[in-house]
Chain A
């Protein structure tokens, strides 16, 4: 309780400092085109919240991020399992392709998707899926690959079947990697959803709001939209962290926990 209070005071002091500097030093000394006072941004946020614009703005972005996260994570985990558990021609074909996709700047394919499918909700979700898929795939693969082979051999010596090796050793070990990647991907999915909205030239979502606001030189709306995006990112990361700590319950029983906890 005391600790919570301490953190609260720290945040209040920090935010108070920023808002004070912004209102009485930064805002009066900058042209009003560039920066307005915090109270105007607050008013804009209240206005958005009351006239329903906030909800309308957040909904498409959230749908893209969550759908992209769900589909991308599912595809990534399944593909990673396929690649690692059948170490054959399949894996050697798929893996370098996905690693290349992971390393390349993904924003470069947006113009291609745009020409091909337009700038609607579906192409944007597809883009988020691609981004999330690569991250989850790479992390799941390294989760499965870093299992201690001696541990597997030991379990097999004790008569474990393939299925038991998977359920008692491989999956619990890989879970730590997957949940870390999921936590990271939650805010990343939001980021690339906003980026996609900006590059697809739509007026929907947070990205669309940002584009039109900066196009018409409305500094207040730009800052307000950035505040909304940040709040949403914090919310998503918090939810993913909570989900991750629940999903890793298997991990606690695993002897492999020690080696994955560092991640």
Chain B
């Protein structure tokens, strides 16, 4: 019972914009023009804001930023950095998801669960970014340190979602499976694993933006040769405002892309295969 207080659930990540879009069938021209207007306003302010208010080396100008972005995209600066960041993110998910699920299953075993439960709660309560200082001692200035930080975020999300999935297995089905003589393995294979899929998809939905954020943070804190965060850090340190803004735009675009692709597509898929309730 006390664990509920110590481990807050993540808030509802389903953006309200998705609801609005689902409701309207006709294309929302007013919304589109509003957005275009907003973008135009931001660009205009950014281009003509007086340098007394914001120094030009800090935020550059849109024209310079897009020129810088264009150059970076074609002279081969951006490519390896994007690849490095995305690779870190993918590795974090590939290793983190099974680990988290395994821990959740391990906690189900009576004695082990009783003993390890407080430990998992405690580890989850650690402000994870603080761990980077610890990882850098152990793993040095390397991509492995970044991966360790990303893992520390991803594992707990999968662990808690898997746990919730096992808690919320339909008790009637569980009873009837047992009545028909299913053993533990059959129960896991035929009932618990299939019914946990929506919860794991929800975990992906939460984990991807968070892992990307952690990756960028780790790269900013411990710059290595390649990585969007490292590139951003070097540009900012060289007071190259246009370069820094260009990298920031790329990072934001990827964040938004993940939100759209994973959020919307995955939610739709989960709804189609019959999730109970909404994806968190």
Task: Determine if B26 is an interface residue (Cβ-Cβ < 8 Å).
Answer: no
CB distance from A3 to the nearest CB of B (A): 7
Contacts of B114 in A (CB 8 A): 10, 13
B259 touches A103 (CB 8 A): yes
B122 touches A195 (CB 8 A): no
B132 touches A177 (CB 8 A): no
B11 touches A229 (CB 8 A): no
Q: Could you tell me the distance between the alpha carbons of A100 and B116 in the complex, rounded to whole angstroms?
A: 38
Task: Determine if A237 is an interface residue (Cβ-Cβ < 8 Å).
Answer: yes
B212 touches A105 (CB 8 A): yes
CB distance from A256 to the nearest CB of B (A): 15
Contacts of A3 in B (CB 8 A): 1
A115 touches B57 (CB 8 A): yes
Task: Determine if A24 is an interface residue (Cβ-Cβ < 8 Å).
Answer: no
A142 touches B221 (CB 8 A): no
Q: Could you tell me the distance between the alpha carbons of A210 and B17 in the complex, rounded to whole angstroms?
A: 39
Q: Could you tell me the distance between the alpha carbons of A68 and B138 in the complex, rounded to whole angstroms?
A: 32
Contact A229/B115 with A100-B252, A241-B5 known, Cβ cut-off 8 Å: no
B125 touches A194 (CB 8 A): no
A112 touches B244 (CB 8 A): yes
A237 touches B6 (CB 8 A): yes
Give 1 or 0 for each of B96-126: 1 = CB within 8 Å of chain A CB.
Answer: 0000000000000000001111110010011
Q: How many residues of A contact B (CB 8 A)?
A: 76
Contacts of B130 in A (CB 8 A): 194, 206-207, 210, 225-226, 229
Mostly, the B contact residues are helix
Task: Determine if A121 is an interface residue (Cβ-Cβ < 8 Å).
Answer: no
Tell me which of A50-58, A91-99, A161-169, A246-254 binds B: A91-99
Contacts of A238 in B (CB 8 A): 5-6
Q: Which residue in chain B gives the minimum CB-CB distance to A13?
A: B115
Task: Identify A97's interface contact among B1, B38, B241, CB under 8 A.
Answer: B38
Total contacts A-B at CB 8 Å: 207
CB distance from A102 to the nearest CB of B (A): 7
Task: Determine if B44 is an interface residue (Cβ-Cβ < 8 Å).
Answer: no
B125 touches A195 (CB 8 A): no
Task: Determine if B25 is an interface residue (Cβ-Cβ < 8 Å).
Answer: no
Task: Determine if A59 is an interface residue (Cβ-Cβ < 8 Å).
Answer: no
Q: Could you tell me the distance between the alpha carbons of A192 and B125 in the complex, rounded to whole angstroms?
A: 14
Q: Could you tell me the distance between the alpha carbons of A127 and B57 in the complex, rounded to whole angstroms?
A: 20
Q: Could you tell me the distance between the alpha carbons of A141 and B259 in the complex, rounded to whole angstroms?
A: 17
Task: Identify A95's interface contact among B17, B54, B232, B256, CB under 8 A.
Answer: B17
Contacts A/B (CB < 8 Å), 28 sampled: A13-B114, A17-B115, A17-B119, A92-B30, A94-B38, A99-B259, A102-B259, A108-B220, A108-B229, A111-B220, A111-B248, A112-B58, A112-B59, A112-B248, A138-B13, A141-B15, A141-B16, A142-B12, A145-B20, A192-B129, A194-B129, A198-B129, A207-B130, A210-B133, A214-B133, A214-B137, A237-B6, A241-B5
Q: Give the interface of B toward A (CB within 8 A).
A: 1-2, 5-6, 8-17, 19-20, 30-31, 34-35, 37-38, 54-55, 57-59, 114-119, 122, 125-134, 136-138, 209, 212-213, 215-217, 220-221, 228-229, 232-233, 235-237, 239, 241, 244-245, 247-248, 251-252, 255-256, 258-259, 277
Q: State the 5 A-B residue pairs at the shortest beta-carbon distance, nearest first.
A: A111-B236, A103-B259, A104-B255, A92-B34, A214-B133
